[in-house]
Amino acid sequence: MGWEALSILHNTDQPCMWNGGGTKAVWVCNTTRSGHPTGKPIGLMQDLIMKFTDPGDVVWDPWCGGGATLRAAKDCGRRAVGIEISEKYCELAAQKMAQGVLL
């Protein structure tokens, strides 16, 4: 697939938050094999998390796959909840979460 859609959800009683300033809402990035057929680059997910959340927010990933979004949330100082039906990909996500962060 050459592109993938993204949904940004927010409370109906609040306007959608956009920390990206005047930047375009189109992201282009290279992908690498991550152990999951639709794995996301952690750097891309970090960029999205920083633009759409504040410290202390909870990031919800209902199809967390290999855990890139969960890892990115942790790296950005956010809490995260991920759901994945495949035990294989749950293990991959757990390994990714156990990795240390180099700053």
For the segment 55-99, what is each residue's pLDDT rounded down to a tens digit? Answer: 889 999 998 888 889 999 999 999 999 998 998 988 888 888 887
Backbone angles phi and psi of 81, in degrees to 5: -125, 125
In this prediction, residues 13-22 reach a mean pLDDT of: 66
* HSE-up (13 A, CA, CB side) for residue 27: 17
pLDDT level of residue 102 (50, 70, 90 thresholds): very low
pTM for this prediction? 0.73
39: its two tokens? 């794995």
Q: How far apart are the first and last CA of the chain?
A: 33
pLDDT of residue 76: 94
Percent residues over pLDDT 70 in the chain: 75
**Nearest-10 crossing angle of helices 68-75, 42-52:** 60
pLDDT of residue 26: 72
Query: What domains can you pick out in the chain, each with its CATH number?
Result: 42-98 (3.40.50.150)
Residue bearing the bigger pLDDT, 63 or 30 = 63
- pLDDT of 41 over the 80 cut: yes
Alpha-carbon distance of 73 to 96, in angstroms, equals: 12
